[in-house]
Structure 1
Amino acid sequence: MKLQSVEDIFIHLLSDTYSAEKQLTRALSKLAREASSEQLKTAFSSHLEETQGQIERIDQLVEQEANVRIKRMKCIAMEGLIEEANEVIESTEKNEVRDAALIAAAQKVEHYEIAAYGTLCTLAEQLGYKKAVKLLAETLEEEKSADLKLTDIAVGKVNQGAKKTA
């Protein structure tokens, strides 16, 4: 897709983000299975439900905004982030060290999504997509909240346990 306008950029980023969320739904269930901390398993499972809602929100956005059509594409960045998480799983035992590394991998994903949704909100606002701004801002807040929850789990218990395991 040749990008010739701000609207083209918005559609490209929205399409890329849609792909990222779809990929993440497949990865989160694996992360939940591979974590040893019940709190972390619950956080991953909870975020899976949120991610499914975020996909629905993008579908809703496309229905509500006449000029917006998602393009079929694959988010290469998310593919790489998920591959990094898989490498963590393959190179660690199922214990607090793995949990600490999974949290780090998941936070990289959250930061990527926060950047994407922040940019999407700004572009939607500039394009006058008022309904889209509301939907995207809701997802942005969920991503920020997920990141904080992961930090709390890491600082609260997992990282201390990982230090003892080493």
Structure 2
Amino acid sequence: MTIRNLKDVYIHQLQDMHSADRQALAATRRLAMLAHDTHLTDALEAGVEGIRAGIGEMEALLERHGAAREEGHSRAMDGIVDEIKTDLLTADIADPEPRDAMIAAQYQRMAHFAIAGYGTALAYARRLGLEDDAAQLQHNLDTAYSGDRTMSQIANATLNEKAA
């Protein structure tokens, strides 16, 4: 795709978020299977549902603009997912408590990426006068913020203390 204007940048951002969400969905499912704490597991399962909805919303936005869903690949999310594999899936972690603290941190890294990506796409949509898109992206951004806040609450209330 040749980038010629802000609309092209916007479409590229939507495609990147679609890719990132697909990668985050698979990673979050794996994190949920590893989690020991029930509150953490519940939050991750809710995260799976939120990410799944985000994928559908990105697909609808891309379709609205006649853009390919599979164009591009989020290399940034690749890096986060690789770190999850290294730090959690292949690491030798003796106790579930520190693993749960690491799971929360890794999920938040993915949530922060989503916040940045959705926030950027939202700014582009507003600048382009795409109010329906902006409303959808605001919803996605709010969902990402909510997941991040929930994970912070769980980590601060129990996970980090147990891991200590």
User: What TM bracket, shorter-length normalisation?
Assistant: over 0.9
Higher mean C-alpha deviation, range 16-25 or range 67-76:
67-76
In the TM superposition, what is the alpha-carbon distance from 1:61 to its structure 2 partner? 2.0
Conserved? CA contact 2:111–2:145, under 8 Å = yes
Deviation readout 1:109-155 (Å, 9 max, x if unpaired): 11111010001001011111111101110000000000000000100
Q: Supply the distance in 1 between the matched residues of 2:37 and 2:81 (Cα, whole angstroms).
A: 20
- Structure 2 counterpart of 1:52: 52
TM-score, scaled relative to structure 2: 0.93
- Structure 2 counterpart of 1:84: 83
- Structure 2 counterpart of 1:38: 38
Q: Supply the distance in 1 between the matched residues of 2:127 and 2:116 (Cα, whole angstroms).
A: 17
Q: Supply the distance in 2 between the matched residues of 1:94 and 1:82 (Cα, whole angstroms).
A: 22
- Structure 1 counterpart of 2:6: 6
Q: Supply the distance in 2 between the matched residues of 1:100 and 1:132 (Cα, whole angstroms).
A: 35
Q: Supply the distance in 2 between the matched residues of 1:77 and 1:98 (Cα, whole angstroms).
A: 23
In the TM superposition, what is the alpha-carbon distance from 1:93 to its structure 2 partner? 3.3
RMSD: 1.3
Asked if 1:149 is matched to 2:150, the reply is yes
The residue matched to 1:73 in structure 2 has which SS? coil
- Structure 2 counterpart of 1:69: 67
Q: Supply the distance in 2 between the matched residues of 1:95 and 1:87 (Cα, whole angstroms).
A: 16
- Structure 2 counterpart of 1:24: 24
Deviation readout 1:33-64 (Å, 9 max, x if unpaired): 1111111111111110111111111222234x
Q: Supply the distance in 1 between the matched residues of 2:66 and 2:125 (Cα, whole angstroms).
A: 10
Any gaps of 5 or more consecutive residues in structure 2? none
Any gaps of 5 or more consecutive residues in structure 1? none
Conserved? CA contact 1:124–1:132, under 8 Å = yes
Closer, same or farther: CA 162–73 of 1 in aligned 2, 3 Å: same
Conserved? CA contact 2:14–2:62, under 8 Å = no
The residue matched to 1:57 in structure 2 has which SS? helix
TM-score, scaled relative to structure 1: 0.91
Deviation readout 1:5-29 (Å, 9 max, x if unpaired): 1111101111010001111111111
Count of residues in Structure 1 that have an aligned counterpart in Structure 2: 161
Closer, same or farther: CA 25–94 of 1 in aligned 2, 3 Å: farther
1:107-118 map, 5 Å: 107-118=108-119
The residue matched to 1:93 in structure 2 has which SS? coil
